[in-house]
A = this chain, B = another copy of it.
Amino acid sequence: MTDIIRQAKNAKEAALRMYSLSSGVKNNALLEIARVLSERAEEIFGANQKDLDEAKKTGLPMPLRKRLLFDAKKLNSVVDGLKSLSGLEDPVGKTLLARQLDEGLSLYRISCPIGVIGIIFESRPDALVQIASLCLKAGNAVLMKGGSEARHTNRILATIIRDASVVSGIPEGWITLLQSREEVRDMLELDEYIDLIIPRGNNEFVRYIMDNTRIAVLGHADGVCHVYVHKDAQPETARRIVVDSKAQYVAVCNAAETLLIDSEIAEPLLPELARSLSEAGVTLHGCERSAKILDIDRVDDWHKEYLDYEMSVKIVDGLADAIEHINHFGSGHTDAIVTENGESAETFMNAVDSGNVFWNCSTRFSDGYKYGFGAEVGISTSKIHARGPVGLEGLITYKYKIYGKGQIVEDYASGKRSFRFRPIESFGHS
């Protein structure tokens, strides 16, 4: 435990100094990291080969080995990401509110870094670079723990990021790569130093984190996403959206797990949809009515996240029924309605209690890159702090500043002075 305490203390000290970093220093550091990553490409690929060899030996399943791969293509995309991040507006130091409280007493709400962020992420080594660079841009120190199957790759990436950033003027200690699972457990107790934990992983793991720390957690639970085909849906639009939402990439949280369809149009549309899904390799499980129509198995758990070529199907009796099903069995992630009826779409989007509600497009659009956020630290199904795909702004908080001229509260309490609130116009970024 002593090691992690020391590292967390160092991170806290670095974070305090990072509050005053200029945008220029942070952006130059991002560019320098990009430069050194390219320069040391062969070393990185060598380390990655070690991880891949070990993964093969230990029999890691193929999809996981794919995620582990860090080749020239991944490096290019990571380097491009760093360059584009360095060009983005600085999220720190923005004036979010400016108000005169009284003559000569001015209140400002200014965006600022959160402090120290603990991040636990899955096996993709490119995620390490993305997350570290987002934290740096937002002025936060970071404690990171990656998947142990990627440890050689993660180690060299973290070393390059640390060295290149410290050379560029970022305080030492701002980035630490944790080595073991025990350190993650220890980290959960360090609420004195760590301000936010972002766990990326499966549902159970995120719940474990939430149950074992008093530090704030920004985590997504699961993605039980729905596509609801409303009675006024255009059939071909419905077919394309249902197939894409389910089968475009099944192993991700924004893939649809349940198809809802209005009873009025279930015949002949449902069998047509089922045929297209079957052609895409998808096995269906049904409610009582749909199981009869399609001659399929019954669903045993409407809250199931398959993350596979499987899908639940339910016939519903109109909009209200669909909304109720989603709010009851969904996970608040992403839900779409297919309809040509704008009023029904608007009702659906307002009443469904999810972070992302779509009209006539695939649930797979629910993603920080596709939203134009440049990058994402994760997708939050929490409603607090940040919801949906979380970009830079999820790594930012704010503070209030008051500029006075010697004012005291007693003068206002006694009635000698009174507040005269008025907005301060024409404020830019401070």
Contacts and interface: CB of A to CB of B under 8 A. Distances in A.
Nearest to A411: B244
Interface stretch (A39-47, A62-70, A207-215): A207-215
Interface in A358-412: 358-362, 364-366, 370-372, 382-385, 387-389, 397-410, 412
A240 interface: yes
A378 to B, nearest CB: 14
B361 A404 contact: yes
A138 to B, nearest CB: 12
A358 B195 contact: no
B400 A356 contact: yes
B397 A387 contact: yes
A16 B400 contact: no
Nearest to A109: B388
A364 B409 contact: yes
A354 interface: yes
B350 A405 contact: no
A234 interface: yes
A360 B20 contact: no
Interface stretch (A75-83, A99-107, A168-176, A288-296): A99-107
B244 A410 contact: yes
Contact of A383 (B195, B349, B387, B412): B195
A149 B372 CA distance: 53
Interface in A339-367: 345, 347, 349-351, 353-362, 364-366
B383 A115 contact: yes
Nearest to A112: B350
Interface pairs A-B: 7 shortest CB-CB:
A361-B404, A244-B408, A364-B409, A372-B421, A216-B384, A237-B406, A385-B385
Given A356-B400, A361-B407, 15 more contacts: A19-B350, A20-B347, A114-B383, A196-B384, A248-B413, A357-B399, A357-B402, A358-B404, A359-B402, A360-B405, A361-B406, A362-B408, A364-B408, A383-B397, A387-B399
